Each structure stands twice: as structure tokens, then as C-alpha cells.
Amino acid sequence: MRLRTVITFLLGAIIGALITAPLYLAPATPSKSITVFAGAAAAPVYDEAAKLFKDKYGVKVEFRLGGSGSVLSAMKIAKTGDLFIPGSPEFLLEAAKSNILDKGSVKKLAYLVPAIIVQKGNPHNITSLEDLSKPGLRVGIADPISVCIGLYAKELLEKNGLWESVKRNIVVYAQSCDATAALIPTGAVDAIIGWHVFVDWYPDKAERVWIEPSKVPKIGYIAGAVSVFAEDKVLAKKFLDFLASEDVAGIWAKYGYFASEQEARQYAPNAAIEDII
């Protein structure tokens, strides 16, 4: 009798476990998230904006940052990503030609002007583009093929007849905007040609030397678009709109980005601006 009771108890426990097991083993509902492939020209802004968006809407935003050309290639190969936000319009146009963007979703976010960035205190007394060809000076730029500011830096020097003389001093071709900006605070070089905002990324270690306005051939801007690979295009567009909203305007301003073409033209009144899609 006792054995029968024990067997009955064990069978009951096993059946109960089988019935309730799915309740414990069922996976939790995944939280919403979007993935953004972006040039690193606004890395600090994206970090803060993503946290703010998650706090406000409960949506996680994951960034794949790097040189605009490099992340575009990765996006096309993987056929994934909800948004593409390069550091300059040239790479957005390239993405459009590859038919991986919803062209109707394009939105401009901020404007950028090339500038010379030097060590705090400007120890080498660099005041002009011509000074970058001084003997012994260590200069850094971004890779002109895959990074937006590298493309602009090379064109800037070529337009002013300085590419060959400055090229002799270039010791680093960085692979992203953030890597280029970091060359100054780490002491890897004496000067870089970067976006004007790089100083605001490292205000205690860097100093900006504005280039003579007539010598700046082109103004850049950051713009993004929803990808054809996006699983939730509405959510992707919501984050893109959020980056252009008043919620994030203060973050852009905090890091020195220009909100309008008019602001940027104060430092390059005759510069060209690439047509958007």
C-alpha cells in the first residue's frame, strides 16, 4: 500500500512537471530594437540619442559605426540594417545607387565644416593649410576612400594646390572619423584635417584652427534614410525623425554641430554642398 502511494505521488509529480514545463521554458518576448549602420562623424551624439530613445520609447538602438564607405559595404554584404546614416551625402548617394534605401525617407540632421585640429595651445603655431607642409610636422587625415572627412580633406588640399606638399607629412590614414579625431588627444600626430566638431569631442586636449573661408570647397552634412532591409520601417523612421527632433537638438548643439546650412556658411560662404537624393 505504501509503495502504491509512492508511485502515485511520483507519477503525479512527473505529469505536473510536464504540464507546467512549457510555462517556464517558453522564451521571453524579445524587446523591440533597431540596427543603424552609420559613419562615426556623429558618434557622441548617437550614443546619447540612443539612450534617450530607449528611455522614452523602450526601443534599443544598436549602432554599427565606422568609416561610411566601410559600413555601407558591410550593410550591403550582410543585407541587414534598419537605417543608414553616413557622415557625408556622397555615401548616401552611393547607397541610393545600390537601391538599398527608401529614398522618400531621407532626412538631413546636421552640417559639418572641415577645419584643422591641433594640440591644445597649438604648440606648432599652425595657422593655415600651408603650415601643414612644414618640415617635420606629423599630419593625420582619414582614409579618403572609405571615410567622409578623408574624402573632404584630400579634395580640400588638392583644390588649394597643397596635396603633394602636405602628403609628405601625412603619417596616418585613419579608418573612421572617431579614429581620426582621437589622433590629437593621443598625441599620435601634430595636426589633422577633420570636421570642426572634433574639438568639441575633446575640448580639454584639442584646439581648432578655422581654414580661410575662401579655401573651403565643400560643406558636408549628415543625412540618413531607412534601409530596404528594415524589418520595421515605421520604427526605423521613428528613430530617424527622433534624431532630427527637438529632443536631440540640444545634444547636436552640445557637440558643436551646425543645425542649418546658414550656420555652416559662416565659415565657408562659397562652398558647394552636394545635392541630396
pTM comes to 0.87
pLDDT tier for residue 61 given thresholds of 50, 70 and 90: very high
In this structure, the number of other CB atoms found within 10 A of the CB of residue 90 comes to: 17
- The average pLDDT across 135-162 equals 97
| Mean per-residue pLDDT of the chain | 90
**Judgement on whether residues 105 and 123 belong to the same structural domain of the protein:** no
In whole angstroms, how far apart are CA 206 and each of 42, 75, 106, 116? Answer: 17, 33, 33, 10
Q: Tell whether the model's pLDDT for residue 246 goes beyond 80.
A: yes
Q: Tell whether the model's pLDDT for residue 185 goes beyond 90.
A: yes
Q: Tell whether the model's pLDDT for residue 192 goes beyond 70.
A: yes
Q: Tell whether the model's pLDDT for residue 31 goes beyond 90.
A: no
Q: Tell whether the model's pLDDT for residue 267 goes beyond 80.
A: yes
pLDDT tier for residue 197 given thresholds of 50, 70 and 90: very high
**Judgement on whether residues 130 and 195 belong to the same structural domain of the protein:** yes
Tell me which of 86 and 4 has the higher pLDDT.
86
Q: Tell whether the model's pLDDT for residue 85 goes beyond 60.
A: yes
- The average pLDDT across 109-126 equals 98
**Judgement on whether residues 166 and 127 belong to the same structural domain of the protein:** yes
- The average pLDDT across 66-72 equals 97
- Domain assignment of residue 74, yes or no: yes
**Judgement on whether residues 127 and 191 belong to the same structural domain of the protein:** yes
- Domain assignment of residue 234, yes or no: yes
Q: Which amino acid is at 183?
A: L
- Domain assignment of residue 265, yes or no: no
Question: How many folded domains does the chain comprise?
Answer: 2
Q: Tell whether the model's pLDDT for residue 22 goes beyond 70.
A: no
- Domain assignment of residue 242, yes or no: yes
State the Cα–Cα distance between residues 128 and 224, nearest whole angstrom: 33
* CB contact set of 62 (below 8 Å; sequence gap of 6+): 33, 34, 35, 36, 50
Tell me which residue range forms the domain holding 140: 114-215
- Domain assignment of residue 2, yes or no: no
- Domain assignment of residue 132, yes or no: yes
Strand partners, 192: 117, 140
Q: What is the pLDDT of residue 117?
A: 98
- Domain assignment of residue 3, yes or no: no
**Judgement on whether residues 228 and 154 belong to the same structural domain of the protein:** no
Q: What is the pLDDT of residue 275?
A: 87
State the Cα–Cα distance between residues 141 and 176, nearest whole angstrom: 10
Query: Taking a C-beta distance cutoff of 8 angstroms, is the pair 112, 257 a contact?
Result: yes
Q: What is the pLDDT of residue 263?
A: 97
- The average pLDDT across 256-276 equals 95
Query: Domain with 230 in it: what CATH number?
Result: 3.40.190.10
Task: Lowest mean pLDDT of 10-24, 119-133, 197-211, name the range.
Answer: 10-24
pLDDT tier for residue 276 given thresholds of 50, 70 and 90: confident
- The average pLDDT across 31-46 equals 94
